[in-house]
Amino acid sequence: MHVGLIGAGAIGKQVLAHLGHRPEDSVTLLMRRGKRLPDGIKISAVDGLAALLAHRPDIVVEAAGQQAVVELMEPILNNGIPVIICSTGALADGALFSRLIHCAKNARVALTIAGGAVAGLDYVRIAALMPDARIRYSSRKPVAAWRAELAACGHDPDSLSQPVALFEGSPSEGAKLYPRNLNAALTVALAASPAPVQVRVIADPAVSGNCHEIDVESRLGSAHMEFDNAPDPENPKTSLITAFSVIRLLEDHRQVMARAA
């Protein structure tokens, strides 16, 4: 399988490490000029979209942030290449999301949104059909993930003893304020659409992992789902499981390719 990868940050490096153990795979990596390549992995590095497209990957993984979704996903889909999107916060722009869906349909390729740090989205989708559905997503992360944000609010991160709510509002508002931290909120919101989702962002000195909570109430019943994810060693704002959700999707795509061969 030939994988195109956009970004070599916390998520990208984990994906590269996995693919590096499979000699039958090849990787074309689109990354910023001057950035150091990971060691020990055979990859072709390019610094522009045209070069990435020229390599004709079987699938492209976006792991570089919301701007990469805005600038790169449409032309990739229009070239008939399926994509996996990690930076789901970009899809708070409904017009962009509609264009991407249109491109994928016209090219007859898959537009896949990585589940990332949360599960249970099937329950959310079902409950959202009910007019009385109430859905809340809460992101609870350790102080280390929010040091700059806490300081900006007048809190001393080193002496914080109680949880601090940094944000309460809609998923789209949260995605604009924290473009690198609330991809999971948009993932829940997309599953819940058109039902509204309330979002909370909490810095909590009592937790060591990245905790995601989904609360759902409707006439069908109620659910509380909680995921306590290990932070990525390189970026505490990202859950380590996010990269492995992408790896799982790549393995699924591999199986689809094998059946079609």
For the annotated catalytic residues, the residue numbers are 212
Q: Are 207 and 230 in contact (CB under 8 A)?
A: no
3-state secondary structure the chain: CEEEEECCCHHHHHHHHHHHCCCCCEEEEECCCCCCCCCCCCCEEECCHHHHHHCCCCEEEECCCHHHHHHHHHHHHHCCCCEEECCHHHHHCHHHHHHHHHHHHHHCCCEEECCCCCCCHHHHHHHCCCCCCEEEEEEEECHHHHHHHHHHCCCCHHHCCCCEEEEEECHHHHHHHCCCCCHHHHHHHHHHCCCCEEEEEEECCCCCCEEEEEEEEECCEEEEEEEEECECCCCCCCEHHHHHHHHHHHHHHHHHHHHHC
Q: Are 121 and 208 in contact (CB under 8 A)?
A: no
Shortest CA distance to 224 belongs to which of 216, 233, 236?
216
Q: Which strands, in side-by-side order, build the sheet including 59-62?
A: 44-46, 26-30, 2-6, 59-62, 83-85, 111-113
